[in-house]
Every structure is written in C-alpha cells, then in structure tokens.
Amino acid sequence: MNLNKISFNLKINFSSVLIIVVLSSLLGLTTNYLNYQGIPLIKSERVLNWATDSSEIKNTEEIIEDNNKTNSEAKFDEAAAITLKQAYALYNKNVLFVDARDYVEYEIGHIKGAISLPYYEFDEYKSVLQSISKNTPLVTYCDGRDCDLSIMLGDKLFELGYKQVYIFFDGWIDWQDNNYPVESDE
C-alpha cells in the first residue's frame, strides 16, 4: 500500500513541476515580448553597409574639419564596412584603428598605432575611450572575415555616439599578409 501512495505523490509532483515550468516560461516569454528592450527570440543576421569606394572615405582635411565642429551631424546611419585597400588609405590618413581581439592577441601583434579594446572585455577597457572625441573617425578590426568582433565593436561604438566608424572586414590576417605596418608588445 505504501508503494502506491509514494508513486501517486511522485506523479502529482512531476505534473506540478511541469505546470510550473510551462507557466513560468510563458510568463517570461510574454514579459520579454512586451519589453521594448527585450531579447529577440530569433537573431536577425547583420547585413554590412559597405563604403563602396574611396569617395565615401573623407580626406584628412575633412576629417580634421569635422573633429573641430562641436555639433557635427552623424555621417552614417550605422558603422560602414571597408576593404583592405580602404583601410590602408585611412591608415595613411592617421585614422585611429581599434583592435577588437582579446588583449593577448593584441600583444602578440597588431596594426601599428592601434589601440586595444577587446569586445568581450569592453567594460574593463572602455576607459581608453575617455580621451577619444565622438567625432574621431575609428576603424575596428579583428582577425578577418571569419571574425565578427570588429562588427560587434563597430556597432557598439556607433551606438555610444561615435559618428564615423568603419569596420575593417578583411582584418588583421590580410593586413599582415600584405606586409602593412605592424607592431607587437612582446
């Protein structure tokens, strides 16, 4: 008799647990849906906005002029992706490059003059942004086409108010392969 009673209680407890899980899941999904900052259930793929040619990349005088304006309007609707050739043109105009890879990779080697702002450790390193004007053009990069860190960091910087953000899509590997200026901290 005791075995049947125990078995019956387990069935009730299991069904109670199942009901609680289903109801809490529905409550969580409803709350997320109604929250304007809710997490999307299906992530939409980020489509890159490409700077189609060098005409979209300003010359040095225009960059300096924009940096001196106090109420400069945003030049982009979002961060713009650039090719190796465009990245090198910006490098030669002394535009600031931002390495989105982790700090150890940065120390091993990076684009000469680049600063380290690891995407996954953004909060720990964001203090480097305090001395950088929101009007300063920035180029984010990571390892290359298989790495999304430069895209995510570029979007984050743009959301923080940086007005001219480029995403160097070909990244560190292509930069190195073309023997462009590099340095390491090791």
Structure confidence at residue 39 (pLDDT): 78
CATH topology of domain 49-183: Oxidized Rhodanese; domain 1 (3.40.250)
How many other CB atoms sit within 10 Å of the CB of residue 94?
Answer: 11
pLDDT tens figures, 32-49: 888 877 777 776 666 777
Q: Would you kindly state where each structural domain of the chain is located, as residue ranges?
A: 1-43, 49-183
Mean pLDDT of 164-184: 95
Rounded Cα distance between 21 and 143, Å, is: 42
What percent of the chain has pLDDT above 90? 55
pLDDT tens figures, 46-73: 677 777 654 445 554 454 444 444 333 4
pLDDT tens figures, 109-152: 999 999 999 999 999 999 999 999 999 999 999 998 888 999 99
Rounded Cα distance between 153 and 121, Å, is: 11
Tokens of 165: 């953000």
Rounded Cα distance between 104 and 185, Å, is: 10
pLDDT confidence of 12, banded at 50, 70, 90? low
Tokens of 35: 């929250």
Report the DSSP beta bridge partners of residue 154: none
Tokens of 23: 């109801």
Tokens of 161: 């108010």
Which single residue is written with the structure tokens 């010359």? 59
Triad 32, 150, 43: Cα angle to 5°: 25
Amino acid at 173: I
Structure confidence at residue 55 (pLDDT): 44
Pairing relation of β-strands 96-99 and 182-183?
unpaired
Query: What burial class does residue 139 get, using C-beta atoms within 10 Å of its C-beta: 0-12 exposed, 13-18 middle, 19+ buried?
Result: buried
